[in-house]
Structure 1
Amino acid sequence: MIENSIIESNASDASSRVDNIVLALDGESIILKNPSISAEYDLPDEDQSGQSSSTNSSEQGIKPKKLNISGLIEYSTPDHLSRLIELSYQTDRGGAKKLYRIANSTANVINLREGVFSGKISIAPHSTLLAWQISFTLSERKSVPEKREARAQQRAQENGEQTVDAVGEEMPEEKSETEERTWFEENVLAPINDMLG
């Protein structure tokens, strides 16, 4: 017998529906049941000690942050899955992957503001529920370190320099979080975040 009691929501319980909206891309909510969202990023370095006990290492740059998302989409709402697939295939005018503005509390904490779909997108029927188990990754684009490197390289070219050993310039202060919030972040995510403390 297929269990569906966990995934069915009570129509009168509005709060349970709101709790499922934990992610938005360009202000469009991605509705998942039992969502799980985690962040990861690498700060790679290479050991320079050779055979000695030295702890010297060389930095390999700051790699893009990633947001890993998984959850369930019910069979009764196939349009939610179809829309997610459409979003993953979107491109800009130049044919590159579409860059989405990300609204999510975990993404906000690690300052991941914009990203693209990357890697594998997994869609499989759940073993016991009337739903698809889905998972996908959003990878950062236009990160602060990347912008700093680009500006330093541009300055070096303007000054006739061949290489830049260090990036010393700080980016201008970004607008405050309240100025950059979308309507969805301000009116849906912020009140939920305040309630959760």
Structure 2
Amino acid sequence: MLIDTSRNITFLNERTPSIQLALNGQGVLLHNFLATAKIKREAKDMSGQASSTKNSDKGIKAKTLTISGLIPFRNKKWLLDLVNLAEAVDKKGEQVIYRISNISAEAINMRKGVFSGDLNITEQSVQGWNISFTLKEVDSVSEKKAKRIKKAKVKTQTEKAPATKTQQEQKPAEQRKEEVKEEKQQEDNSNTKALDDFLGKWG
């Protein structure tokens, strides 16, 4: 069976695909668009034995959205725009965090993300570039929840911790005053006794 490749290429070059992914409101143009969302729950092996299946749940890690598609050679600007998005940094020189608009990202409640790993650009015969890249979630709902729980635990521990005061500081002022008075009286008595002993030797 013969496939009219030239006709397919012309079709791809002439039509503009619908925008299925936007980052901070800027559309990413790709033919044959495919998005794969991934949610990973990490568990730590607590068994200590190969035959045991006991695990400790460490929670959900950052979600990812992997994108793939095709950019015709004729539409090189689409690729340049995508590269600029991947390389962008903010005023502090840090990687730009994007608001993600995509139906799959919305389905898994992934709102913000950054480019993670490689932006793969592969020439495919005469059609164009095969594109693939991954967006990694930041400021996730689960991450914010974990931070709130951690702060609450620290606050509770701080409130329960006893005040670090010496025994003298913990005593009431009047009690400390009486103790000082008694110590002074004992010192005076000691001095008086020493003087009496000295005079007694010469009496």
Residues 4 and 24 of structure 1: is their aligned pair in 2 closer, same or farther, counting only changes over 3 Å?
farther
Conserved in 1, the CA contact under 8 Å of 2:12 and 2:72? Answer: no
What are the equivalent positions in structure 2 for 1:60-75 lying under 5 Å apart?
Answer: 60-75=58-73
Residues 30-71 of structure 1, C-alpha deviation per residue, up to 9 Å, x if partnerless? Answer: 110111111112112123334486543101231111100011
Identity of aligned residues (%): 38
Residues 34 and 142 of structure 1: is their aligned pair in 2 closer, same or farther, counting only changes over 3 Å?
same
Q: Which amino acid aligns with 1:117?
A: F
Worse-matched range after superposition: 28-37 or 42-51 = 42-51
Query: What SS does structure 1 have at the residue aligned with 2:150?
Result: helix
Residues 157 and 32 of structure 1: is their aligned pair in 2 closer, same or farther, counting only changes over 3 Å?
same
The residue aligned with 2:171 is: none
Structure 1 stretches lacking a partner, 5+ long: 162-197
> 2:118, 2:153 → 1: CA distance?
37
Pairwise CA distance, 1:137:
0.5
Conserved in 2, the CA contact under 8 Å of 1:31 and 1:80? Answer: yes
The residue aligned with 1:118 is: 116
Conserved in 2, the CA contact under 8 Å of 1:7 and 1:33? Answer: no
Conserved in 2, the CA contact under 8 Å of 1:65 and 1:139? Answer: yes
> 1:70, 1:10 → 2: CA distance?
16
The residue aligned with 1:135 is: 132
**Counterpart among 44, 47, 52 of residue 46 in structure 1:** 44
Conserved in 1, the CA contact under 8 Å of 2:99 and 2:113? Answer: yes
What are the equivalent positions in structure 2 for 1:1-197 lying under 5 Å apart?
Answer: 3-9=5-11, 17-18=16-17, 20-51=18-49, 55-127=53-125, 129-161=126-158
Query: What SS does structure 1 have at the residue aligned with 2:8?
Result: coil
Pairwise CA distance, 1:28:
1.1
Structure 2 stretches lacking a partner, 5+ long: 159-203
Residues 46 and 79 of structure 1: is their aligned pair in 2 closer, same or farther, counting only changes over 3 Å?
same
Residues 126-166 of structure 1, C-alpha deviation per residue, up to 9 Å, x if partnerless? Answer: 12x331111100000001111012222333444454xxxxx
After superposing on structure 2, the runs of 4+ consecutive aligned residues of structure 1 that deviate more than 6 Å are none
Query: What SS does structure 2 have at the residue aligned with 1:22?
Result: coil
Pairwise CA distance, 1:8:
3.0
Query: What SS does structure 2 have at the residue aligned with 1:76?
Result: helix
Q: TM-score, normalised by structure 1?
A: 0.70
| Structure with greater proportional helix content | 2
Conserved in 2, the CA contact under 8 Å of 1:97 and 1:116? Answer: yes
Greater radius of gyration (CA): 2
Q: TM-score, normalised by structure 2?
A: 0.68
Residues 95-126 of structure 1, C-alpha deviation per residue, up to 9 Å, x if partnerless? Answer: 22111111111111111111000111101111
State the aligned residue count. Answer: 156
Q: Which amino acid aligns with 2:91?
A: R
Query: What SS does structure 1 have at the residue aligned with 2:152?
Result: helix
Conserved in 1, the CA contact under 8 Å of 2:12 and 2:31? Answer: no
